[in-house]
Amino acid sequence: METKSSDRYAGSLKVSEEVVTKIAILAASEVEGVTLEEGGKRLTRQERGGLLGSVDKLLGFAPVKAKLYKEAAEVNISVVVLPGYKAATVGENVQRAVKTAVQNMTGIAVSKINVNIVGVRLAENV
C-alpha cells in the first residue's frame, strides 16, 4: 500500500491509496447519470456507505484504482452510464468531481483521471 507524505507543517500527513480510492468512489457516486455497479443500478446512500468498507465485495469488482506517485495521484475509474445521460458528459463530470474531491480532501495533486465507461444501462420498459 502506497502512501503520500507531506511535511509542510510541524508534523507529517500520510494518505494511503485506499483513502484516495474511497474519496474517488464517493465523489463519482454523487455524479448524476452514473453508477459504479456493473449491473447499472443506481446505488442508494446506504449502499454507497457500504462501498467504503469493501468495494470489491459489494460490487464483485473494483471500480476504482488509485496510484500515488512522488508528486501526484492517478485514478482509474469504471462507471456505467444511466439512461438519458450522455456518456461523454458523464465522464467529464466524473473526472471533475473526483479531481476536486481528492485534491480538496487530501491536498494531493491529481495528474490524471481515466474514466472507463464499462456499460450503458438501457431504459426499463415504460
CA–CA distance, 88 with 83 (Å, rounded to integer): 13
Low-confidence residues of the chain, pLDDT below 70? 1-9, 37-62, 124-126
> What domain range is 8 assigned to?
3-120
Query: pTM for this structure?
Result: 0.75
> Do β-strands 73-81 and 34-35 pair in parallel, antiparallel, or remain unpaired?
antiparallel
Average pLDDT of the chain to the nearest whole number? 80
pLDDT at 59: 45
pLDDT at 38: 55
* Percent of the chain with pLDDT strictly greater than 90: 52
Cell, residue 2 = 502506497
CA–CA distance, 124 with 63 (Å, rounded to integer): 24
pLDDT at 35: 85
Overall domain count for the chain: 1
Which 3-state string (H, E, C) describes 74-125? Answer: EEEEEEEECCCCCHHHHHHHHHHHHHHHHHHHHCCCEEEEEEEEEEECCCCC
Residue 126 forms part of a structural domain: no
CATH of the domain at 16: 3.30.70.1350
Residue 125 forms part of a structural domain: no
